[in-house]
Amino acid sequence: MTRHAAGICDDGAVAGAPGGRRARRSRDELRDLLIGAGRAILEEEGLAVGAGDLTFKRVFDHVEATTGTRLTNASVIRRVWENQEDFRMDVLASIASTADASGELARTFEVLAPLVDTFDLGSPESRIRSLAELARVGGEAGIGARVGTRDWSLWIGVWVLALTTAPTGRHRRIRDALTDGLRTATDEWEQVFAGLCAHLGLRVRAPLTLRQFTVAVSAMAEGVALRQGGDPDVAVIVRPTGPDGAPQDWTLFGVCLEALAVRFLEVDPDWTHGAPVV
Amino acid sequence: MLRNGEAGRRGGPGRPDRRCRRTSVAPVWDDGRVPPSPATGRATRRSREEIRALMLAAGLALLEEQGLGVGAEDLTFKRVLDRVESTTGVRLTNASVIRRAWENQAEFQDDVLIAVALAGDTGGEMGDTAAALVPLFGAMDLSSPAGRLRGLAEVCRVGGAASLRTLVGSRSWSLWVGVWVLAVTGPPTDRGRRIRQALIDGYEISTDQWAELYRTMADYLGLRLRTPFTLRQFTVSVGALVEGCALRDGARRDTAAILRPTGPDGRMQEWTLFGVGLEALALQYLEPDPNWTGPVTTT
């Protein structure tokens, strides 16, 4: 058994204990010591960026199995990427840049498009009821597009891992891609909300902005989707919001979306039903 | 290894150089060239962009199949043992821990993540939020439903700012949410299940504590839950919003304050986006209790 200069031997025994006898560090003491050190390292450096298993060899095998193309290190190293780590960062950056990878916008739009034609827009009250129905149906579609899809899981995973690491060097590329992707997705959603507001005769309450509403809705959706992944209790809420008070199923996100819409938006008194939307 | 552009110089177009091994019968060479096509009889070189696209698609497919991992892969025994020695003077070796404290390094990594998962609110979000709210209590006008709703708005503004600030600046929160994301979005594995269970245990405790804080706040302001909502649904909604906002703030730290005329006599006050959203949620879930008779005082 090796005896080290420091106060512990490699079997966990502590040297120099009173009485000349070696006190053995217990299994629990060892665990506490090392878990504390491990946490300290993670708090300083963050979690690994998550692509540690993505080796060139595995990727070459996948390419060959799926396309018949056989590649080797010589095909890519110093030609396409400096090294394997450079490749991993590229993969993660490409995930980070696609904020709507799960197709949430398209899926939500698909669900909402037939709905908007059925709305009664004849009075301010009916327009607010239509807004609630949009929140209910659109909320369900929006959260469904996230929860359980691998694309969204990967994207949010890369996002969170990028946040836990220092914004230096290779990780900055991921953060930059993430920021660009978020900006693009927010722009697209803002346009959708602008169109819906114009259709329903709603406007943003001063001094709030449509951009702020869009960011709040996105943050809410991401937070709820993350919670829903680990908290199945937040599944369905039954509310008497149907015709003549009939019960309707709401998702938690739909309820929150309605709350945000009511706070950020109001009936536009100057709106004219049937006027062309510019 | 061949650099970009060297293949033609060595072997000439269409004919692989001896040093450029043909690695298989598959239709590409290890310098990226494709064997002669039947149509032209000439070899074409697969471009850097083509190879990049091919490889990226394969990398994405593998991550989609197998997830991002557990996030602690860099936490090797060697690095941790070095850290222990440099911070405590205790020198340990693999023999001290393998098969004694943990079966292997992966099991150790899981235990560290589980410790992160169980730690809950070590960033002090709840304490900071409560501390920011204490000075508000004596100044609220609770004599009318309108005054109580104004009090609620101020709680959202001040408490929301404190809560978000603590989360965004907290290393332990970003670690916790990182472990959460990897566990709930990753494919179900035995390793993931242990961490996930620890997260759910910590989450339940934290959700109960926050719910208690909101109950106390609602009782003080004479508010009750609107039917059919539950306190847990409100708590989960607020937690989801603050985490979503904190993630956004982490990605873009240029989030500007929102000025609203919510102060006395319509004076402008600074709001965070989370504060505005929190007020929206509070008004959705809570309403003045018409049977309320005043705050309960403790002696």
Per CB-CB distance under 8 Å, the chain B contacts of A24 are none
| pLDDT over 50 at A38, yes or no | yes
The 10 Å CB-count burial string (b at 16+, else e) for A92-118 is bbbbbbbbbbbebbebbeebbeeeeee
Nearest CA in chain B to A36: B112
Give me the total of CB pairs closer than 8 Å, taking one residue from chain A and one from chain B.
Answer: 359
Residue-level pLDDT at B223: 96
> Could you tell me which residue, A172 or A170, shows the higher pLDDT?
A172
> Could you tell me which residue, A57 or B25, shows the higher pLDDT?
A57
Q: Is A78 exposed, middle or buried (0-12, 13-18, 19+ CB in 10 A)?
A: middle
How much is the pTM? 0.80
Q: Do B67 and A255 count as a contact with CB atoms less than 8 A apart? A: no
Mind giving me the DSSP string for A105-118? HHHHHHHHHHHHTT
Provide mean pLDDT across the span B235-261.
86
Q: Do B181 and A223 count as a contact with CB atoms less than 8 A apart? A: no
HSE, side-chain direction, 13 A CA sphere, residue B17: 15
Residue-level pLDDT at B229: 96
pLDDT tens for each residue of B70-82: 667 778 888 888 8
Per CB-CB distance under 8 Å, the chain A contacts of B28 are 69-71, 75
Q: Do A59 and B67 count as a contact with CB atoms less than 8 A apart? A: no
Q: How far apart are CA B271 and CA B275, in angstroms?
A: 6
Residue-level pLDDT at B271: 97
Question: Mapping DSSP to helix (H, G, I), strand (E, B) and coil, where does residue A209 land?
Answer: coil
Distance from B166 to chain A by nearest Cα, in Å?
Answer: 15
Provide mean pLDDT across the span A80-109.
80
Provide mean pLDDT across the span A88-116.
81
The answer to whether B170 touches A43, Cβ cutoff 8 Å, is no
Provide mean pLDDT across the span A73-81.
84
> Could you tell me which residue, B48 or B276, shows the higher pLDDT?
B276
pLDDT tens for each residue of B192-209: 788 888 888 888 888 999
Is any Cβ of chain A less than 8 angstroms from the Cβ of B193?
no
pLDDT tens for each residue of B125-151: 888 888 999 899 888 889 999 999 999
Q: How far apart are CA A199 and CA B35, in angstroms?
A: 58
pLDDT tens for each residue of A227-259: 887 666 666 899 999 999 999 999 999 999 999
Residue B68 corresponds to which tokens in the numbers above? 């991002």
Does CATH place domain B113-288 in 1.10.357?
yes
In a domain, A264, yes or no: yes
Q: Which domain holds residue A138?
A: 29-278
Q: How far apart are CA A268 and CA A202, in angstroms?
A: 5
| pLDDT over 60 at B182, yes or no | yes
Lowest pLDDT segment from A30-44, A127-141, B276-290: A30-44
pLDDT tens for each residue of B40-64: 655 566 677 777 777 777 777 777 6
In a domain, A11, yes or no: no
Task: Say how many domains are in chain A.
Answer: 1
| pLDDT over 80 at A177, yes or no | yes
Closest CB to A208 among B51, B83, B258? B258
The answer to whether B158 touches B270, Cβ cutoff 8 Å, is no
Say how many C-beta atoms besides its own lie within 10 A of residue A154's C-beta. Answer: 25
Domain ranges of chain B: 6-54, 71-101, 113-288
Is any Cβ of chain A less than 8 angstroms from the Cβ of B289?
no
Closest CB to A91 among B26, B56, B67? B56
| pLDDT over 80 at A226, yes or no | yes
Using CB atoms and an 8 Å cut-off, which of residues 104-133 of chain B contact chain A?
108-109, 111-112, 115-116
Provide mean pLDDT across the span B141-170.
93
Is any Cβ of chain A less than 8 angstroms from the Cβ of B31?
yes
Question: Mapping DSSP to helix (H, G, I), strand (E, B) and coil, where does residue A263 land?
Answer: helix
Confidence band for A151, pLDDT divided at 50, 70 and 90: confident
In a domain, A4, yes or no: no
Greatest mean pLDDT among A132-146, A222-236, A255-269, B10-24: A255-269
Is any Cβ of chain A less than 8 angstroms from the Cβ of B183?
yes
Residue-level pLDDT at B85: 87
β-partners of residue A250 are A237
